Amino acid sequence: MEPVTLAPTAAGAARARRANRRHWSLDDIPWHAVQRDQVDRHEALFYMIAAASLMESATDLYTANLIEYFSGDDEITSWLKNYWLPEELQHGRALRHYVETTWPDFPWHKVRDGFVEEFRPFCDEALERARGLEMASRCVVETGTASFYTCLSRASPDPVLALLTRRIAEDEVRHYKHFYRFYRKYREIEQPRRSAVAPALWRRLRMTGGEDRLIVLKHVHAARRPGMPLDRRTYRRMHRQCRALMRPHFPIEMTVRMLLKPLALGPRTQRMTVPILATLTRRIVP
Ligand SMILES: [Fe+2]
Ligand SMILES: [Fe+2]
């Protein structure tokens, strides 16, 4: 009898490569293995995951003006419509599924309706005055989400949550790479000065975790603790708990590197800038 060969054929290797490139789906997550007892009493985790699930699921609300802004550039608009938006919405669905599995009493759909109603007027956010600067600013957003999910994945006491957030973090890093490539494309065309790029990055950095976070947390809190308003003291306590969980796992080097990239600094300047930015970037961790 002919021995069975285990060596991959060229066609088999190509198939494996294609399979590896396939984007993950909710079916790839072993939901049955969620260790509820490790997370269900963890308030900081609950607030962060519930808030993230709502924000991600609302991506379509604040995408329309971005796609319109790049109309005429089919490469960018088709990537935004066909890859970026579906992937962000999938993050929302997967995190929602985790919330519903782990905290089944949380009325996710009801909370989403209330959140969307209040959040909608904030979605027509101001875009940068040039396409290149807008792309640099999008790099900051993706840096924030990539760092957040990387941190969450490292901090998670539940292996399923760690896996899920790692998958999402990988997507966010890939999104960053696309936005960075598009930034370079428009940098060639528009030739922005570094003195214009740095303020665009800073503007976006300052926006991260502002009004949006407060709105979403208010809705999550109202459902979690009915009748108890999210006052300043409660918000500060919540913030402290989240920071305590996340800070030891914050991927500071990755974050700083990603934030600095659009500035194309020389190695010496970069060495001097890293410690300063390391402090500033902690702002983007919820
Ligand atoms: Fe996302
Ligand atoms: Fe993203």
What's residue 19's pLDDT? 47
Tokens 């941190």, residue located:
151
Ligand closest to CA 148? 1
Residue 168 C-alpha to ligand 1 middle, in angstroms?
A: 6
Residue 285 C-alpha to ligand 1 middle, in angstroms?
A: 14
Q: Which two tokens stand for residue 201?
A: 């990055």
pLDDT tens digits for the chain (286 residues)?
333 333 444 554 554 455 457 899 999 999 999 999 999 888 999 999 999 999 999 998 878 889 999 999 999 999 999 999 999 999 999 999 999 999 999 999 999 999 999 988 777 767 899 999 999 999 999 999 999 999 999 999 999 999 999 999 999 999 999 999 999 999 999 999 988 999 988 888 877 767 788 899 999 999 999 888 888 888 889 889 998 999 899 998 899 889 889 998 888 888 888 777 777 666 555 4
The DSSP call for residue 265 is -
Residue 255 C-alpha to ligand 2 middle, in angstroms?
A: 14
Residue 90 C-alpha to ligand 1 middle, in angstroms?
A: 8
What's residue 261's pLDDT? 92
Residue 170 C-alpha to ligand 2 middle, in angstroms?
A: 9
Which residues lie below 8 Å from residue 172, measured CB to CB, with a gap of 6+? 142, 145, 146, 149
What's residue 14's pLDDT? 53
What's residue 50's pLDDT? 97
Ligand closest to CA 140? 2
Structural domain boundaries in the chain: 31-284
Query: Whole-angstrom Cα distance, residue 122 to residue 65?
Result: 12
Ligand closest to CA 168? 1
Residue 272 C-alpha to ligand 1 middle, in angstroms?
A: 31
Residue 134 C-alpha to ligand 2 middle, in angstroms?
A: 15
- What is 204-248 written as a DSSP string? HHHHTTSHHHHHHHHHHHHHHSTT----HHHHHHHHHHHHHHHGG
Protein residues with C-beta less than 5 angstroms from the ion ligand 1:
56, 88, 91
Residue 165 C-alpha to ligand 1 middle, in angstroms?
A: 10
What's residue 282's pLDDT? 60
CATH 1.10.620.20 correct for 31-284: yes
Ligand closest to CA 152? 1
Q: With 0.85 as the threshold, say if the pTM is over it.
A: yes
Query: Whole-angstrom Cα distance, residue 281 to residue 198?
Result: 14
Residue 275 C-alpha to ligand 1 middle, in angstroms?
A: 27
* Half-sphere exposure at residue 115, Cβ-oriented, CA atoms within 13 angstroms: 30
